[in-house]
Structure 1
Amino acid sequence: MKQSLQLKLGQQLTMTPQLQQAIRLLQLSTLDLQQEIQEALESNPMLEVSESEDSGDDSSSSSDADLKLESSATETISESNKEEADWQENIPEDLPVDTHWDDIYQGSGSGNVGPERDDSYFDSQIDNTETLQEHLLWQLNLTPMSDRDRMIAMAIIDAVEPSGLLSTPIEDIYRGLARVVDGTPEEADDSEWEAPNEVDAATDEDDHDRLDIDEVFAVQHRLQLFDPIGACSESLSQCLMVQLNQFAKDTPCLDAAKMIVSEHLLQLGNRDYKQIMRRCRIKENELKQAILLIQQLTPHPGELIGSSETSYIVPDVFVSKKSGRWLVELNPDIAPKIRINSNYANLVKRADSSEDNTFLRDNLQEARWFLKSLQSRNETLLKVASCIVDKQQGFLDFGPEAMKPLVLHDIAEDVGMHESTISRVTTQKYMHTPQGIFELKYFFSSHVSTDNGGECSSTAIRAIIKKLVAAEDPQKPLSDSKITSLLSDQGIQVARRTIAKYRESLGIAASNERKRLV
């Protein structure tokens, strides 16, 4: 094969570094944006936080640098500096496409001066959630127990799942311990292995050293009384029974509750109350009291320990009604107000190629682009949020049942942007409304046709389903077919399988599982 050189012409879509930065900031959530700004403040000496308590000449110059008020990042520098135009002439407006900061500005990555910090202390303060096994081991260390029982207890705790139940049957745990204590070969078939009976134990010379399954059960019973009560149980029925045993013996309907938990837990889950009353030979009033007693129990005691941290939502946009009009405002507290440090900016000299001046020039240009990207993000977010509020005023006035169908294409046409940009803006961005706090994507939904030729949003249909289920008869809950019929009476034609899908998305159980005793 002969080698040759050829020239080809072609078109390719490329993005400048500042455009890539603007797109990346646009899709960041509030917490990620705060972290990004903090990293920029630490790495770029040209950026600083705008303090509200500044006064005199400093406050007048910093007000021009405020991100909320400036229309151009270059206005952040004091107007009294007459050489501003000189050093700005040598700073390019755009970088070549497909380049990185380090390719043009070698000093941009070295802005973080000083010794490196050890964040292990802060990580240890944040990651301090205690797991269930650690909580059980802590109680085990405080409990007087023989070494043999402690070994059994540690084996049982190792098999505890986060829910509090055992992931391995207690017999399997006993077999594993027996191999260690009694020296049973690991190659032995578990299906043929049996616990030694009393006759074999009596004839064994080392009877006192052999592990008995009753020892494992005894240690398990002790662990089940640890906090939380019922942990280390094999099944849900056993876990609930341990908790019921902690009630006083004179508790009303305690025996009935124990019988239901031990023998009729499946029927209780299926709401088959008639069968439970027939088998337990109890009346409806007694069944109600027994069910109320069972509802006080914890089916997954492990969830009480080591629960996940609560995450709080900080709204990006506030919506309020003033003088009969809906107003949209950005949350001023979602990110610190930053500006360019005028003192450092004034140190940039014209026609000076020294290393220090190049470092300042590079960081100044990077700071200007960062401020422009932040301003563009805020303007785009405010524009999209205002358009959503304009189209969903019915929701703001009357609630989810008045939600109108809306897709990304509708907003993209009104604001003159691409649908992908609208998708980035509405992801992980939240709006505070009189109806509550919602993600911007919540206001987008598909639609179904109505009998009068109109359209009904899927969000509105979910709200109607939720309202119908809340008002249903607990003894005769509405089935999916019945809900379909009720919606049809309102002019909304929806298939039964669609109703089932919407019901499951709302976390509403099926009709047979919603049945209650009045």
Structure 2
Amino acid sequence: MKQTQTLSPQMMQSMEILQMGSQELLEYIENQAQENPVLEMEDTYTDQDQSAVLRRKLEWLESTDSQNRAYHQQDSEDDERDPISNYGNADETEENLYLYVLSQLELMDLEPAVMEAGKLLVESLNQNGWLDEDLSELAAEWELPLELLERALAVVQTLEPAGVGARSLSECLVLQLRRRKEDSALALKIAEGYLDPLSKNRYGCIAKALGVTQEEVHAACDVIRGLNPRPGSGFAARENLIYINPDIFVVNFPDHFELLTNDYYFPSLHISSYYCRMLRDSEDKEVKDYLTDKVRQAKWVVHSIEQRRSTLLQCAQHILELQEDFFRRGPGHLRPMSLADVAQRVGVHESTVSRTVKDKYLQCASGVYPLSYFFSRSLGNASGASGEAASPDAAKALLKKLIAGEDKRKPLSDQKLCELMEREGCTLSRRTVAKYRDELNIPSTTGRRQYE
């Protein structure tokens, strides 16, 4: 004799729904509505005020500066599509780099051979807008004259965005500089032959080689750093992109915070009154058994979805309370927090919290973050005057602050950074400092040094 614990199919279904992300849950709801005739699905946003929809579109366009052109084009070409869906998902009609460049090429009055060669080159562009393959190899593969491909590439490189069709970083930057109206002769020379010294901040070396002052080199390098080395980055990839739909919104008021769930993204589910009447009035046993089973399934699905929403809201509320400093002051102010901390407050098991935050996202004034981001381990030591344990987020913020204030001619070594952080109450090993610096994409001492 032994005692075992098993989960019912309904409980397993409830746990599966709890850990579903927003897109997965939406697909699940649609499938359930198709499989179960008792369930009726109604969109929550079909009757929204059109002015509110337009206002959200304008806010979206403002927040996606480099991509405004593509999304605006998409909306204007198909106004009959669901106005809300454009915020979440890219579809097959979304303009990508290939379509954008090709549409410009087709408007040009070119020889048929140059036009066809240009189309082949545009199809060969990578996602960044560069041409990776060698022209001679392409000429042999397509059985076209090399001179024809060179003429076609020269045409492609005149199109928007500036830098498209480049075969190297230097060529990409040069193409962009040549379109600038202001004088960029010095920047052109640096982009053509001095990118390696520029990457190592050897301004004095560049100034000496070109016979100019370091101040002029600094100004020219600032111009170069303002260019886009990936001209295709503002467009959608050829494959469909999936954008994040936040599950929770944190609204910041002067004296308090408010949590909002993204309910408009999901259609509302309810039990069909027609089938309920049929169940009540029918005298056919098979019909009653069938409808009883379907109604029970439908009620459990609706209950599980509502329970998911309630648990998610509770967890988010306690995350907000525990990480209030982050929501007020932004990144760099996370405090150590574990699943157990939230589970104890909510009154559930840690595994339930883990399922709840899986693939869920929160949007606040600082941006969009996965809920798992707010669970930060303790570094095991007190941080500063507060006496609280430091988190990796706080340690990285302190590391960035120290590096930002260093003398660029004598940048701090990892060991020196380690010592300075310990004085601030954040004790880390040198290896951990180096690891965090790499995660922040900050170069080593050699890469940060600026030479005379």
Q: 1:46 to 1:475 in 2, by over 3 A?
A: farther
Q: Which residue of 1 aligns with 2:134?
A: 169
The superposition leaves residues 403-448 of structure 1 with CA deviations (integer Å, 9 ceiling, x where unpaired) of 3322223434554544332211112323456766543212211222
1:471 Cα shift?
4.5
User: What SS class does the counterpart of residue 347 from structure 1 fall into?
Assistant: helix
Native 8 Å contact 1:318 1:330 kept in 2: no
Match of 2:337 in 1: 406
1:125–1:404 CA distance, 2 compared to 1 (3 A): closer
Identity of aligned residues (%): 28
Between structures 1 and 2, the one with greater helix share: 2
1:255 and 2:193 matched: no
2:303 maps to: 372
Alpha-carbon distance between aligned partners in 2 of 1:419 and 1:435, rounded to the nearest angstrom: 27
CA contact (8 A) 1:317 1:385 kept: no
Query: Are the counterparts in 2 of residues 46 and 344 from structure 1 also a CA contact under 8 Å?
Result: yes
Q: Is the 8 A contact 1:271 1:512 kept in 2?
A: no
- How many Å apart are 1:374 and its aligned residue? 2.0
Distance 1:301 1:221 in 2: 16
Unaligned runs of 5+ in 2: 45-84
- Higher mean displacement: 345-354 or 438-447: 345-354
Cα offset, 1:242, TM superposition: 2.7
CA-based RMSD of the aligned residues comes to: 3.9
2:275 is the counterpart of 1:344: yes
SS in 2 for 1:302: coil
Q: Does 1:47 align with 2:39?
A: yes
Asked whether the equivalents of residues 382 and 388 of structure 2 are also in contact (C-alpha less than 8 Å), the reply is yes
Please say if residues 334 and 391 of structure 2, whose CA atoms lie closer than 8 Å, have aligned partners that are also in contact. Answer: yes
1: CA distance between counterparts of 2:175 and 2:258? 57
Q: Secondary structure at the match of 1:339?
A: strand
Offset, 1:400: 5.1
What is residue 68 of structure 2 aligned with on the other side? Answer: none
Q: Cα distance 1:405–1:335, how it changes in 2: closer, same or farther (>3 A)?
A: same
> Structure 2 counterpart of 1:128, which letter?
T
Deviation at 1:375, TM superposition (A): 3.2
Amino acid at match of 1:411: V
Residue aligning to 2:19: 27
1:442 aligned residue: 373
**Alignment length, in residue pairs?**
405
Q: 1:70-149 residue pairs with structure 2 within 5 A?
A: 126-149=91-114
Which residue number in structure 2 is paired with residue 237 of structure 1? Answer: 170
Contact 2:327 2:364 in 1 (8 A): yes
Decide which of 498, 502, 506 is 2:432's aligned counterpart: 498
Q: TM-score, normalised by structure 1?
A: 0.66
Whole-Å Cα distance in 2 between the matches of residues 336 and 125 of structure 1? 20
Question: Aligned partner of 2:32: which letter?
Answer: A
Amino acid corresponding to residue 138 of structure 2 in structure 1: I
SS of the residue corresponding to residue 492 of structure 1 reads: coil
SS in 1 for 2:336: coil
Partner Cα distance (2:282, 2:12) in 1: 30
1:293 partnered with 2:236: no
1:311 aligns with 2:303: no
Match for residue 210 of structure 2? 280
CA pair 455-302 structure 1, distance change in 2 beyond 3 A: closer
2:216 aligns to what SS in structure 1?
helix
Amino acid at match of 2:196: L
Question: Which residue of structure 2 lines up, in the alignment, with residue 429 of structure 1?
Answer: 360
In 2, Cα distance between equivalents of 1:332 and 1:175: 56
In the other structure, the counterpart of 1:218 is 151
SS at match of 1:371: helix
Query: What is the CA deviation profile of residues 475-507 of structure 1, one whole-angstrom value per residue up to 9, with x for unaligned ones?
Result: 655443333222110222101221222233334
TM-superposed CA distance for 1:131, in Å, is: 3.7
Instruction: Tell me the distance in 2 between the aligned counterparts of 1:486 and 1:499.
Output: 11
Aligned partners of 1:318 and 1:329 also within 8 Å? yes
Per-residue CA deviation, residues 26-85 of structure 1 (Å, 9 max, x unaligned), is 011234334433443454343346899xxxxxxxxxxxxxxxxxxxxxxxxxxxxxxxxx
Partners of 1:357 and 1:134 in 2: CA distance: 56
Q: Write the deviation string for residues 80-121 of structure 1: whole angstroms up to 9, x where unpaired.
A: xxxxxxxxxxxxxxxxxxxxxxxxxxxxxxxxxxxxxxxxxx
Shifted more, 355-364 versus 10-19: the winner is 10-19
Aligned partner of 1:456 in structure 2 is 390
Shift of residue 470 of structure 1? Answer: 4.5
The residue type paired with residue 246 of structure 2 is: V
Matches within 5 A, 1:184-199: none
Aligned equivalent of 1:36: 28
What are the Cα deviations for residues 237-294 of structure 1, in whole angstroms up to 9, with x where unaligned?
122223333345xx43x33222211111111122221211121121122213322332
Counterpart Cα distance in 2 of 1:319 and 1:155: 49
> What's the offset of the Cα at 1:451?
6.2
Q: Is the 8 A contact 2:382 2:390 kept in 1?
A: no
Query: In structure 2, what is the equivalent of residue 99 of structure 1?
Result: none
Please state how far the C-alpha of 1:23 moved relative to its aligned partner. 0.9
Q: TM-score, structure 2 length as denominator?
A: 0.74
More moved, 330-339 vs 291-300: 330-339
Match of 1:204 in 2: none
Q: Is the 8 A contact 2:201 2:451 kept in 1?
A: no
Shift of 1:133: 3.5
SS of residue in 2 equivalent to 1:494: coil
Equivalent position amino acid for 2:160 in 1: D
Q: Counterparts of 2:43 and 2:162 in 1: how far apart (Å)?
A: 53
Residues 449 and 492, structure 1, Cα contact 8 Å, conserved in 2: no
Structure-2 change in CA distance of 1:306 and 1:449 (3 Å):
closer
Of residues 141-150 and 348-357 in structure 1, the stretch that sits farther from structure 2 once superposed is 348-357
Shift of 1:235: 1.6
14-23 or 502-511, larger mean C-alpha shift? 502-511
CA deviation profile, 1:366-420 (whole Å, cap 9, x unmatched) = 1111122123323332343344345444545665555332222343455454433
CA distance in 1, matches of 2:226, 2:331: 34
CA distance in 1, matches of 2:285, 2:294: 14
C-alpha separation in 1, matches of 2:95 and 2:368: 31
CA–CA separation in structure 1 for the residues paired with 2:435 and 2:265? 36
Q: Which residue of 1 aligns with 2:118?
A: 153
Preserved contact between residue 288 and residue 517 of structure 1 (Cα < 8 Å) = no
State the 1:330 CA deviation: 5.0
The answer to whether the 8 Å contact 1:18/1:373 transfers is: no
